[in-house]
């Protein structure tokens, strides 16, 4: 049986995987869905203001240590592609599979800021303008978006990642491209690059960005190896 660690993207918490978790558990697997530091409802201003990418990588490593996990599948959505890459690089061989779910796949010295599109960089700047240390959740019409979303620590978006190359030795690395928002996605060029890399498997889902909420059965099936790579 596998152990999955599910890491949410910007502004979100463990609840974003709430429809996927029972599907994996029903298949007999162990699942840890995280809410990263600085995004918990009870985090104070100092915690949010001082949280960076290293903090979030440490959140993942802490679960590995606390639960004595030696063979994990890390799943990172969107921003959390940065997190799972950093954590895997520092995990000392305890990660057997990485799944970047419509997520950034960084190389050493890159950041979420450097990898994203101009549209998202503008959104980050606008979202941080009022408090400076965190980016408020973007408005999502027609209902404004999930009210559980939290301001996202700005330093985690800006900090460049430090990779030693250990992440490239994770035996299985996968990228899931969500094609249902092609006009706005910052991941099209990444999909093309990884498709040309024999060390990566690339899958495609015809959903918008939050596939785990729009199509949880399809996401779970992919994680359970019940569909083939595109």
pLDDT, tens digit, 9 for 90 and up, residues 27-47: 999 999 999 999 999 999 999
Residue 50 lies in a domain: yes
Residue 228 lies in a domain: no
Instruction: Note down the domain range covering 50.
Output: 3-223
pLDDT-derived band at 230, boundaries 50, 70, 90:
very low
Residue 63 lies in a domain: yes
Measure the CA–CA gap between 122 and 119, rounded to whole angstroms.
5
Measure the CA–CA gap between 13 and 59, rounded to whole angstroms.
13
**Pairwise pLDDT comparison (142 vs 101), residue with the higher score:** 101
How many structural domains comprise the chain?
A: 1
CATH of the domain at 113: 3.40.50.1820
pTM of the predicted model over 0.75 = yes
- Round the average pLDDT of the chain to a whole number and report it: 95
Q: Tell me the per-residue pLDDT of 162-180, one tens digit each, with 9 for 90 and over.
A: 999 999 999 999 999 999 9
Residue 104 lies in a domain: yes
Residue 230 lies in a domain: no
Checking if the pLDDT of 227 tops 80, the result is no
Residue 229 lies in a domain: no
């Amino acid at each position: 049986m596998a152990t999955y660690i599910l890491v949410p993207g910007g502004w979100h918490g463990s609840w974003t995987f709430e429809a996927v978790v029972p599907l994996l558990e029903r298949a007999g697997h162990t699942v840890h869905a995280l809410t990263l530091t600085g995004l918990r409802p009870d985090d104070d201003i100092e915690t949010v203001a001082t949280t960076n990418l290293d903090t979030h990588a440490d959140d993942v490593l802490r679960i590995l240590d606390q639960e004595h996990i030696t063979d994990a599948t890390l799943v990172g959505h969107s921003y959390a592609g940065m997190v799972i890459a950093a954590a895997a690089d520092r995990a000392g061989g305890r990660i057997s599979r990485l799944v970047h779910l419509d997520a950034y796949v960084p190389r050493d010295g890159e950041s979420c800021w450097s990898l994203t599109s101009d549209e998202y960089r503008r959104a980050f700047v606008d979202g941080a303008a009022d408090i400076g240390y965190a980016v408020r959740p973007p408005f999502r019409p027609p209902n404004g978006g999930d009210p559980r979303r939290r301001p996202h620590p700005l330093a985690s978006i800006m900090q460049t990642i430090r990779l030693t190359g250990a992440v490239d030795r994770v035996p299985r690395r996968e990228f899931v491209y969500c094609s249902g928002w092609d006009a706005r996605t910052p991941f099209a060029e990444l999909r093309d690059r990884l498709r040309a890399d024999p060390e990566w498997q690339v899958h495609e889902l015809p959903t918008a960005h939050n596939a785990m909420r729009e199509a949880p059965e399809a996401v779970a099936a992919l994680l359970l190896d019940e569909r083939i790579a595109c």
